[in-house]
């Protein structure tokens, strides 16, 4: 199989680099300065056991590849706010022997949140979800890192909306030869919704920096409690903290890498000044479900607004003092309770 990594940023770059390092055929899809660096110098992957350079084909879109191959696997690794554009570009791409990518090829959504695979299923017949446990960083154009050992990450995967098949097992086998654990599960959404609850902290980190101290920790606990209440009201199952800890065990340990900033995906978006952030599909997913099921979500509403404002106005990540964020959160809670 050939893996076409649509969005070779932090997650896509690490997955693509690890697959290439194990001998899989990989194509990276990127734009701008990142694309130029990948073409000129190759993909540089920094991991605890060293730095590796992988020279693989780099394209901006499907036209540069001509007809896609029947054994291609499309891995969607863009941020969710960029998914629709990517799906529109790649879905109609012709495949050798007839038909289009949307009709014939598997699409694997390796992203935070749960929205992209729903968007994909409108056009693609074979959609797979991945719960991405892969702390990683786009360090600079052409350079990605994953400071984890002995595994780079754990990637639960399965068909969307449910089930498992031989394609999932073949993809998992390639991933497991590439420094990942890749359990194939029939209920991948349970893992993704648990990860969604964990990702609600991303906006806090983006706005006010690393979570430390009782004020910030209490705020994060209340934000996640809102999320859990919403999922409960919606009847959405998710794996427990105990099940997640058992799955991770001691398979992923953080090992700091020199010169690599540490920050989650939303923090990285602000740090790169992209102008967009994925809060609409993390805290915003909780807000949406809350409105659908009559559960107030004032804290997630606030974080969604703040994260989008920071992205739109190109504010520096972590530039709001945590005390100010906590004060805004209290005001939001007071307003919500009196409404």
Each residue's pLDDT tens digit, 100-120: 999 999 999 999 999 999 999
Chain segment 175-222, per-residue pLDDT in tens: 999 999 999 999 999 999 999 999 999 999 999 999 989 999 999 999
* pLDDT score at 81: 96
* pLDDT score at 264: 87
Distance CA 326, CA 19 (A): 42
Per-residue CA distances from 207 to 68, 174, 280, 318 (Å): 41, 37, 15, 5
Give the DSSP H or E segment for 100.
Answer: none
The structure's pTM equals 0.95
Mean pLDDT value across the chain: 95
Give the DSSP H or E segment for 56.
Answer: none
* pLDDT score at 253: 87
Beta carbons of 48 and 78 less than 8 angstroms apart = no
Q: What are phi and psi of 17, to 5 degrees?
A: -65, -45
If pLDDT is split at 50, 70 and 90, which confidence band does 283 have? very high
Chain segment 69-94, per-residue pLDDT in tens: 999 999 999 999 999 999 999 999 99
If pLDDT is split at 50, 70 and 90, which confidence band does 338 have? low
* pLDDT score at 261: 76
Beta carbons of 277 and 270 less than 8 angstroms apart = yes
Query: Taking 80 as the threshold, does the pLDDT of residue 339 lie above it?
Result: no
């Amino acid at each position: 199989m050939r893996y076409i990594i649509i969005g070779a940023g932090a997650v896509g770059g690490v997955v693509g680099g690890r697959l290439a390092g194990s001998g899989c055929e990989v194509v990276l899809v990127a734009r701008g300065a990142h694309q130029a660096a990948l073409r000129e110098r190759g993909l540089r992957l920094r991991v605890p056991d060293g730095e590796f350079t992988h020279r693989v084909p780099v394209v901006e879109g499907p036209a540069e590849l001509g007809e896609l191959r029947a054994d291609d696997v499309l891995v969607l690794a863009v941020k969710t706010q960029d998914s629709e554009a990517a799906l529109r570009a790649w879905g109609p791409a012709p495949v050798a022997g007839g038909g289009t990518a949307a009709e014939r090829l598997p699409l694997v959504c390796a992203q935070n949140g749960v929205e992209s695979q729903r968007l994909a299923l409108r056009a693609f017949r074979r959609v797979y979800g991945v719960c991405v446990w892969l702390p990683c960083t786009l360090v600079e154009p052409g350079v990605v890192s994953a400071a984890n050992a002995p595994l780079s990450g754990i990637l639960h995967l399965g068909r969307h909306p449910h089930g498992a098949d031989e394609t999932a097992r073949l993809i998992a086998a390639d991933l497991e030869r590439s420094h990942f654990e890749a359990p194939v599960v029939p209920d991948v959404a349970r893992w993704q919704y648990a990860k969604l609850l964990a990702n609600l902290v991303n906006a806090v980190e983006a706005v006010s920096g690393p979570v430390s101290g009782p004020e910030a920790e209490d705020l994060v606990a209340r934000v996640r409690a809102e999320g859990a209440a919403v999922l409960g009201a919606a009847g959405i199952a998710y794996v427990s903290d105990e099940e997640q800890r058992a799955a991770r065990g001691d398979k992923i340990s953080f090992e700091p890498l020199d010169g690599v900033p540490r920050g989650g995906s939303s923090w990285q978006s602000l740090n790169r000044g992209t102008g967009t952030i994925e809060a609409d599909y993390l805290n915003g997913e909780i807000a949406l479900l809350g409105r659908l099921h009559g559960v107030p979500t004032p804290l997630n509403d606030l974080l969604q607004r703040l994260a989008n404002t920071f992205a739109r106005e190109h504010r520096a990540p972590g530039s709001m003092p945590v005390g100010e964020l906590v004060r805004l959160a209290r005001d939001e809670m007071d307003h919500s309770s009196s409404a």
